[in-house]
């Protein structure tokens, strides 16, 4: 068994200034690594949802969730089961397009990946794509040969399938 598994931690937190700092600070202070963190509003007005991707063995993960739970501004913490979790990320890719041929090729790739072209300039195309991080990686690899000028990724956010909430 791989001891250092990647975990998706979903946390409901009070939607107010400083909470991100409390959470991020806790990770640094205790020597846990955050690979990714996304924050946004939740279904409840005063609460925000954080999705944290972190690597560590079971013991580290247990400590992380317990320590997170201790923060007064954190309402709920759950380690999502990857089997029944949907994970999505948004990525914007600005690709260099030197020729008309490249341009149509890139558009085709984007279509195959159900991406959209959201901006065009004489020398660039910007693709918007959502999906699992793996799918996004695949598209990035494909268009890399044309020359990527910029990538902006949100990092994954996640939610359990079915009736289950955290």
Partner 1 sequence: MKGGEAIIKSLLDQGVETVFGYPGGVLLPLYDVLYDSELRHILVRHEQCAAHAADGFARASGRIGVCIGTSGPGATNLITGIATAYMDSSPVVAIAGQVATGLIGNDAFQEVDTIGITMPITKHNYQAMKAEEIPGMIKSAFYIAGTGRNGPVVIDLPKNVQEEEFEYELARDIELPGYKPTMKGHPLQVKKAAKMILNSKKPVILAGGGIILSGASEELLRFSTMIDAPVTTSLMGKGSIPEDNPLSLGMLGMHGRKTSNLIIDDCDCLISIGCRFSDRTTGSIAEFAKNAKIVHIDVDPAEIGKNVDVDVPIVGDAKSVLNDLINVVGKAKDENKDHSLWLKHVIDFKNTCMPRLSFDDIPLKPQQVIKELSEAISHDTIVTTDVGQNQMWMAHYFTSRNPRKFISSGGLGTMGFGFPAAMGAKIAMPNNDVVAVCGDGGFLMVCQDLATVKEYDIPVVICVLDNRRLGMVSQWQKLFYNKRMSYTDLGQSPDFVKLAESFGISAERVEKPGEMYETVKKAIRSDEPYLIDVVIDPDEILPMVPSGCGLTEIIGEYKVERETPGEILYKPMDKDKGGD
Query: Which residues are at the interface with partner 1 (CB under 8 A)?
Result: 13-14, 18, 21-22, 25, 29, 59, 62-63, 66-67, 69-75
- Residue 21 burial by CB count (10 A; 0-12/13-18/19+): exposed, middle or buried? exposed
For the chain, the straight-line distance linking the first and the last C-alpha, in angstroms and rounded, comes to: 26
- Residue 34 near residue 50, CB atoms below 8 Å: no
Beta carbon of residue 67, minimum distance to partner 1 (angstroms, whole number): 5
Beta carbon of residue 1, minimum distance to partner 1 (angstroms, whole number): 18
Helix (H) or strand (E) holding 162: none
- Pick 1 or 72: Cβ nearer partner 1: 72
Hey, which residues does 50 pair with through a beta bridge? 11, 39
Distances (CA, A) of 137 to 23, 46, 131: 27, 34, 10
Beta carbon of residue 25, minimum distance to partner 1 (angstroms, whole number): 5
Question: In the 3-class helix/strand/coil scheme, how is 18-31 assigned residue by residue?
Answer: CHHHHHHHHHHHCC
- Pick 71 or 117: Cβ nearer partner 1: 71
- Pick 5 or 22: Cβ nearer partner 1: 22
Beta carbon of residue 29, minimum distance to partner 1 (angstroms, whole number): 5
- Pick 42 or 154: Cβ nearer partner 1: 42
């Amino acid at each position: 068994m791989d001891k250092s598994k990647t975990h998706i931690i979903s946390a409901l937190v009070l939607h107010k200034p400083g909470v991100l700092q409390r959470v991020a600070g806790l990770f640094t202070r205790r020597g846990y690594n955050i690979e990714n963190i996304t924050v946004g509003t939740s279904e409840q007005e005063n609460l925000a949802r954080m999705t944290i991707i972190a690597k560590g063995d079971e013991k580290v993960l247990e400590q992380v969730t317990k320590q997170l739970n201790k923060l007064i501004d954190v309402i709920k913490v759950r380690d999502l089961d990857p089997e029944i979790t949907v994970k999505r990320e948004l990525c914007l890719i600005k690709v260099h397009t030197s020729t008309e041929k490249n341009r149509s090729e890139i558009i085709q790739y984007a279509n195959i990946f159900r991406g959209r072209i959201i901006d065009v300039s004489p020398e660039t195309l910007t693709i918007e794509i959502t999906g699992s991080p793996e799918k996004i990686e695949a598209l990035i690899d494909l268009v890399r040969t044309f020359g990527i000028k910029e990538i902006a990724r949100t990092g994954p956010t996640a939610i359990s399938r079915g009736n289950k909430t955290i």
